[in-house]
Amino acid sequence: MAETTTRTSARDFFGEVVEQVKKITWPDQAQLKSSTGMIVVFMLVMAAIIFVMDRVVGFGLDMISSLFTS
């Protein structure tokens, strides 16, 4: 059965949010740059893969449609 929770005031809620945000370990600048670089490279690779797949499927569909047109 689902757990029941007690209602808390907005002040208590936001106080708890502030406490949780203080517990976060934020990355330093080097880690942030490294992660951003990896994400950019990944996105470029995925864009290239999707581009190639789009061209191959488009070419295949053009070949199939050319069989039925004169």
Band (pLDDT 50/70/90 cuts) for residue 69 is: confident
Are the beta carbons of 35 and 27 closer than 8 angstroms?
yes
Q: Tell me what pLDDT residue 1 has.
A: 59
Q: Where are the domains of the chain?
A: 26-68
- Mean of per-residue pLDDT scores for the chain: 92
pLDDT at 70: 64
| Whether residue 20 has pLDDT greater than 80 | yes
pLDDT for 47-68, tens place per residue?
A: 999 999 999 999 999 999 999 8
6 pLDDT higher than 90: no
In sequence order, which residues have a C-beta less than 8 Å from that of residue 69 and are 6 or more positions away? none
